[in-house]
Structure 1
Amino acid sequence: MAELLNLVGAQSSPTVMLVIGAIAMLIAMTLLRLVRRIRRMIWTVTVLAAASGMGLGGGWAAFDGLTTAL
């Protein structure tokens, strides 16, 4: 990695380091959004599964199970 930074002259150029930092920040933000979206999808699937189970006679037991698990 140090050889690559030396190749583009990054250690002596603040502009190159700023660009590398901006790219790293964009990648981190994208990964964070992906993790949040996956967590939201898991929560939605859990709630829908509990709601469909209540229609089969589960009553409030499904919601009790969710609240004690969290």
Structure 2
Amino acid sequence: MPTQVRNRALGRTYSLSRLVAAVLPFCTLPVLDELGPGLWYLGCAVLIALMSVAVAALGPRTNAAPLAGI
């Protein structure tokens, strides 16, 4: 994958993460107020665990691979 394509993809991903970080508090505070902190943190932990399993199962193997080959 050419460096320009990789940089563009990383830039878009970073921009989207900043947008989500700006909007997330307005969406999550009502849910936190409704469910309470215990259920909220449990839900976050479950989502993180699911993402970790998905990356481990579906992500490309990059061990000892050259950067240009990823």
Q: TM-score when scaled to structure 2?
A: 0.42
Structure with the higher helix share, 1 or 2:
1
Bigger CA radius of gyration: 1
Q: Which has the higher contact order (CA 8 A, sep 6+)?
A: 2
Q: TM-score when scaled to structure 1?
A: 0.42
